[in-house]
Structure 1
């Protein structure tokens, strides 16, 4: 089995255990036992309890940056950023029940929330670089301005996800993200 598949399988076992018992109450040993592997095997593939949950989000920054580069040249940066985040929304649409449970777990667990924000802080330079590479007005905005746009976009994403999670996934996440972006566009 490929490394990524094993990692995904271990993450799935971990997520189920975290949802049923709570993140804080589950140990690495509990996770390894539930997955039927040794502690060292679990850690070799997953690395930590936090990564067992958050590894699902690893590729979001790169995918969003790639989507941003692929947006039409005549689209303004803010619209392009909004549309590029559709790749993140797609993750939540594929399995909304599981995504809601995972998002709730992350939002309600300080260690996970902090680690996700740290990951997203790593996405910001990727998004800013993708913005810089897009054709557009000459002169292009400064690196600082591009970083601010990327950070604002990620802030909109997080606020939309917070509202979606607090509402038990009932509102349309795309509409919430659109609303968040519109609040800053004016």
Structure 2
């Protein structure tokens, strides 16, 4: 049974949200490597020491955002009609993150370039793939047709989910450097090119 958040928990989450907001604005303007913990702390109105009470480092700010967006997609996938096939259900679930990025397109494009180009974030990007795979693959497995193969649905679910995540990443990378394009349209094109379940 989940425990209710206390007033202190809510206050802590509010502070973490504000620090994250300030950090991502700085990352978008000047890049991840060029942004220091001191700059983030100053923008959030706190000391460096206080920053470390809330985050282990600036990498955690990126990972937190990735985990939160993965949970949004997982919740959306869980809410799709039970009889919808896995591939179109994944495409619809990705709308959660696509619409947020398109609403804040200038910042989102810069952040996608940062995730692509900054060597310090390569491990974090790989962590996103693993986290999203862990969140989404079990939900995808429930939507796959039953087979008697010894590999079971886990291997197929991992393959389908990994393919969909790769399509999203390709669409995001292309969108980041092509301002005239729509992320939703690019994702449709990428997923349409693979479309393993149709």
Q: What is the TM-score of this pair, normalised by structure 2?
A: 0.81
Change (3 A) 1:137 1:16: closer
Residue aligning to 1:148: 159
**Unpaired runs of at least 5, structure 2:** 1-9
8 Å CA contact 1:104–1:165 kept in 2: the answer is yes
> Distance in 1 between the 2:101 and 2:28 partners?
17
Change (3 A) 1:21 1:171: closer
Q: CA deviation at 1:95?
A: 1.7
Provide the C-alpha distance between the structure 2 equivalents of 1:36 and 1:50, rounded to a whole number of angstroms. Answer: 20
Q: Distance in 1 between matches of 2:142 and 2:72?
A: 15
Contact 2:37 2:58 (C-alpha < 8 Å) held by counterparts: yes
How far has the Cα of 1:53 moved from its partner? Answer: 3.8
Shift of 1:164: 0.2
Number of residue pairs aligned between Structure 1 and Structure 2: 184
Counterpart-to-counterpart distance in 2, 1:26 and 1:166: 22
* Structure-2 separation of matches of 1:96 and 1:22: 16
Distance 1:88 1:19 in 2: 17
Structure 1 residues 19, 131: closer, same or farther in 2, change over 3 A? closer
Task: Provide the aligned C-alpha RMSD in A.
Answer: 2.2
SS at match of 1:59: helix
Unaligned runs of 5+ in 1: none
TM-aligned CA deviation for residue 54 of structure 1: 4.4
SS of 2:20 mapped into structure 1: helix
Q: Is the 2:16–2:54 Cα contact (8 Å) retained in structure 1?
A: yes
The residue that corresponds to 1:87 in the other structure is 96
Aligned pair in 2 of structure 1 residues 3, 90: CA closer, same or farther (>3 Å)? Answer: farther
